[in-house]
């Protein structure tokens, strides 16, 4: 006989699944086929699901199922990082939409939820590829459908669905040759199977007893929240004091009487055993001492309101002085040098990120909202960020367009094609056309044995050259591989070469490389800069 699971059981299992994926993210990352030091599928999926748990933890006790579903879908979308994170967010959205009318957690409701998840996730990917996370999702949904038709008991069905999910992961190399060549399974599919497995393990108790992962928001009293209270203007006191108090004996009325002698804007809310205290005072030490005598304090925030006021006024003045624009630009880049170049070309906000850390949809949305413009164009500058940028454009209240740049050099060319007098749509079209003329090269170090685009062996530690996503050169040094990559890209037919030196590539090494290139290609105009990007000693754009 199957168990009857409560909403809290389900929420707890979601939290356990997120924690488990976080603990195993490096295991998923290592399945990355490309032998570069940015295999971040596990990290991106983990961060995406973590924001879901963070959102759920903020819900008040007794929230409706609709509010829970909204917290899941909003958290997943805002936390989505990289392609794997965006797809994961769409899977979670589909599961929530499919379960919208469910009155119980049953095999039938699971079947319907997974059916909608397949529809939603496949709609998000323009060209679905077999042997990826989408295949694993589709096979998992098929298992849920079979379990429903066979009228399995709930626990039996859950175990069967997980088993079929792992079986699908094992089959991914049969469907995607590049996985078979590298003797790995699909990383995203494996991450999804881990999530499902850990969720089912938690909810059915297949492992050791699990504690309530969301206990901090599931107490008998509503959660006491620390908030920034911007009520300090006009106060004659300097310090804003905010903290939580755990006490079985605190008398709120007496505490408020005491606080009134310490300052103004006094608050003491909550009930035994949790209270929130707020007061403006010139003597925070005395305030804290009073409550320490009556209980334990935590999450202490003491703000100097005069300094905050000065800082806020300065920022407001700066924002007011910023010229309003018809069209603004947001770009993603790693490295101080790259950011400065992009800003010099007219980019309003540079979001830190790229190969080693993909910004989330929320990160991009925050940047878009900070631009004082009627419309904004996003330059993701990495193939793994394009989907997050598109998600951002889809939810932004400010009209947004995405120019699908896959590298910083492409962004340079895109910005040269921007026209402040043209519309958002016209600019996206013109800038997208411009990046088509740029061939990107990246030099880095292999982190495992693999093969290049032509089947030649790559050893862990080799220097490799990547041309528009394909490993085209392998060697012992950055200089050697850069020259080989230029040759493979037929640099003799190009007019200009933009070189961006990484943070570990010295000025002397850069000068020597430029000299070698100019000797080899007399008619090629070489424009070298300090990009300061990590992990990639050289990134270049050839036009």
Whether 393 and 457 share a structural domain? no
- Here the CATH number for the domain that contains residue 270 is 3.30.70
Whether 58 and 205 share a structural domain? yes
**Distance between first and last Cα of the chain:** 67
Instruction: State the pLDDT at residue 355.
Output: 60
Residue 91, CA atoms < 13 Å, CB-side half-sphere: 26
Residue 105: give the domain boundaries: 7-213
Q: pLDDT at residue 300 above 80?
A: yes
The answer to the question of residue 222 being in a domain is no
Q: pLDDT at residue 222 above 60?
A: no
How far is CA 361 from each of CA 307, 327, 465, rounded to the nearest angstrom? 32, 20, 30
Distance CA 356, CA 38 (A): 5
Instruction: State the pLDDT at residue 321.
Output: 54
Higher pLDDT, 253 or 309: 253
Pair of tokens at residue 219: 């107490």
Whether 292 and 337 share a structural domain? no
Of 68, 71, 49, 90, which is closest to residue 6 (Cα–Cα)?
A: 68
- Here the CATH number for the domain that contains residue 518 is 3.30.1180
The answer to the question of residue 1 being in a domain is no
Instruction: State the pLDDT at residue 208.
Output: 38
The answer to the question of residue 232 being in a domain is no
Whether 445 and 422 share a structural domain? no
Instruction: State the pLDDT at residue 35.
Output: 56
High-pLDDT (> 70) share of the chain, %: 87
- Here the CATH number for the domain that contains residue 361 is 3.40.50.510
Is 305 in a helix, a strand, or coil? helix
Look-up of token digits 């993701």: 380
Residue 25: left (phi > 0), alpha (psi -120 to 50), or beta? alpha
How far is CA 70 from each of CA 55, 288, 463, 516, rounded to the nearest angstrom? 9, 38, 46, 57
Instruction: State the pLDDT at residue 323.
Output: 67
Q: How confident is the model at residue 2 (pLDDT cuts 50, 70, 90)?
A: very low
Q: pLDDT at residue 237 above 90?
A: no
- How much is the mean pLDDT over the chain? 85
Q: How confident is the model at residue 185 (pLDDT cuts 50, 70, 90)?
A: confident
Find the mean pLDDT for residues 159-178. 90
Whether 287 and 330 share a structural domain? no
Whether 383 and 419 share a structural domain? yes
Sign of the torsion formed by the C-alpha atoms of 512, 517, 522 and 524: negative
Asked whether 346 and 415 are in contact (CB, 8 A), the reply is: yes
- Here the CATH number for the domain that contains residue 45 is 1.25.40.340
The answer to the question of residue 225 being in a domain is no
The residue out of 383, 414, 435 marking a domain boundary is 435
Distance CA 386, CA 118 (A): 21
Whether 54 and 202 share a structural domain? yes
The answer to the question of residue 112 being in a domain is yes
Q: How confident is the model at residue 269 (pLDDT cuts 50, 70, 90)?
A: low
Note the pLDDT tens digit of each residue in 340-380. Answer: 999 999 999 999 886 657 898 999 999 999 999 999 999 99
Pair of tokens at residue 285: 């030490």
The residue out of 310, 333, 358 marking a domain boundary is 310
The residue out of 435, 469, 503 marking a domain boundary is 435
Q: How confident is the model at residue 324 (pLDDT cuts 50, 70, 90)?
A: confident
Whether 62 and 198 share a structural domain? yes
High-pLDDT (> 90) share of the chain, %: 58
Higher pLDDT, 466 or 305: 466
Whether 369 and 292 share a structural domain? no
Higher pLDDT, 28 or 314: 28
The answer to the question of residue 504 being in a domain is yes
Q: How confident is the model at residue 295 (pLDDT cuts 50, 70, 90)?
A: very high
Whether 349 and 457 share a structural domain? no
Whether 20 and 156 share a structural domain? yes
Instruction: State the pLDDT at residue 314.
Output: 66
Distance CA 99, CA 94 (A): 8
Find the mean pLDDT for residues 398-418. 95
Q: How confident is the model at residue 213 (pLDDT cuts 50, 70, 90)?
A: very low
**Sheet-wide strand order for 325-333:** 349-352, 325-333, 373-379, 400-402
Split into its structural domains, the chain has a count of: 4
How far is CA 120 from each of CA 146, 161, 297, 455, rounded to the nearest angstrom? 20, 19, 46, 37
Note the pLDDT tens digit of each residue in 480-506. Answer: 999 999 999 999 999 999 999 999 999
Look-up of token digits 């707890």: 12
Find the mean pLDDT for residues 104-111. 93
The answer to the question of residue 220 being in a domain is no
The answer to the question of residue 47 being in a domain is yes
φ, ψ for residue 19, nearest 5 deg: -65, -45
Beta bridge partners of 378: 330, 402
Distance CA 338, CA 455 (A): 33
Q: How confident is the model at residue 212 (pLDDT cuts 50, 70, 90)?
A: very low
Q: pLDDT at residue 31 above 50?
A: yes
Distance CA 267, CA 401 (A): 46
Q: Which of 22-31, 191-200, 217-226 shows the lowest mean pLDDT across its residues?
A: 217-226
pTM for the whole structure: 0.64
CB burial string 136-152: b at 16+ within 10 A, e below: bbbbbbbbbbebbeeeb
Q: How confident is the model at residue 315 (pLDDT cuts 50, 70, 90)?
A: low
E-only strand ranges, 117-272: 239-246, 263-271
Find the mean pLDDT for residues 121-140. 87
Note the pLDDT tens digit of each residue in 501-543. Answer: 999 999 999 999 999 999 999 999 999 999 999 989 999 999 9
Whether 64 and 182 share a structural domain? yes
């Amino acid at each position: 006989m199957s168990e009857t699971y409560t909403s809290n059981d389900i929420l707890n299992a979601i939290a356990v699944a997120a924690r488990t994926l976080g603990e195993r993210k490096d295991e998923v990352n290592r399945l990355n086929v490309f032998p570069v030091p940015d295999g971040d599928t596990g990290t991106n999926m983990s961060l995406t699901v973590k924001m879901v748990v963070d959102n759920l933890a903020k819900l008040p006790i007794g929230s409706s199922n609709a509010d829970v579903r909204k917290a899941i879908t909003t958290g997943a979308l805002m936390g989505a990082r990289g392609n794997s994170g965006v797809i994961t967010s769409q899977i979670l959205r589909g599961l929530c939409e499919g379960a919208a009318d469910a009155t119980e957690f049953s095999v039938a409701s699971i079947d319907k939820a997974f059916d909608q998840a397949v529809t939603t996730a496949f709609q998000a990917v323009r060209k679905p590829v077999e042997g990826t996370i989408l295949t694993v999702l589709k096979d998992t949904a098929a298992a849920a459908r079979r379990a429903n038709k066979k009228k399995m008991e709930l626990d039996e069905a859950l175990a069967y669905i997980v088993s079929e999910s792992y079986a699908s992961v094992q089959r991914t190399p049969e469907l995607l040759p590049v996985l078979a060549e590298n003797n790995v399974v699909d990383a995203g599919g494996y991450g999804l199977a881990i999530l499902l497995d850990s969720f089912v393990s938690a909810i059915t108790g297949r492992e050791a007893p699990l504690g309530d992962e969301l206990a901090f928001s599931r107490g008998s009293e509503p959660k006491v929240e620390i908030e920034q209270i911007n009520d300090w203007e006009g106060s004659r006191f300097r310090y804003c004091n905010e903290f939580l108090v755990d006490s079985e004996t605190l008398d709120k009325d007496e505490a408020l009487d005491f606080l009134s002698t310490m300052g103004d804007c006094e608050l003491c809310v909550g009930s035994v055993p949790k209270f929130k205290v707020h007061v403006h005072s010139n003597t925070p030490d005395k305030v804290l001492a009073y409550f320490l005598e009556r209980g334990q304090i935590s999450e202490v925030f003491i703000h100097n309101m005069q300094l905050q006021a000065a800082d806020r006024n300065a920022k407001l003045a700066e924002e007011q002085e910023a010229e309003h624009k018809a069209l603004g630009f947001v770009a993603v880049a790693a490295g101080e040098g790259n950011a400065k170049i992009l800003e010099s070309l007219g980019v309003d906000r540079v979001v830190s990120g790229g190969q080693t850390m993909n910004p989330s949809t929320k990160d991009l949305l925050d940047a878009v909202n900070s631009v004082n413009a009627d419309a904004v164009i996003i330059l993701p500058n990495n193939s793994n960020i394009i989907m997050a940028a598109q998600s951002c454009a889809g939810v932004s209240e400010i009209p947004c367009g995405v120019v699908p740049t896959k590298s910083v050099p492409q962004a340079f060319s895109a910005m040269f094609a921007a026209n402040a007098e043209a519309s958002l749509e016209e600019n996206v079209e013109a800038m997208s056309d411009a990046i088509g003329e740029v061939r990107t090269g990246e030099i880095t170090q292999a982190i495992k044995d693999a093969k290049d685009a032509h089947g030649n062996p790559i050893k862990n530690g080799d220097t490799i050259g990547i041309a528009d996503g394909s490993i085209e050169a392998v060697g012992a040094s950055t200089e050697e591989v850069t020259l080989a990559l230029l040759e493979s890209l037929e640099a003799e037919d190009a007019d200009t070469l933009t070189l961006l030196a990484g943070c570990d590539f010295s000025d002397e090494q850069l000068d020597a490389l430029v000299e070698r290139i100019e000797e080899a290609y007399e008619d090629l105009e070489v424009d070298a800069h300090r990009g300061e990007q990590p992990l990639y000693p050289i990134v270049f754009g050839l036009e």
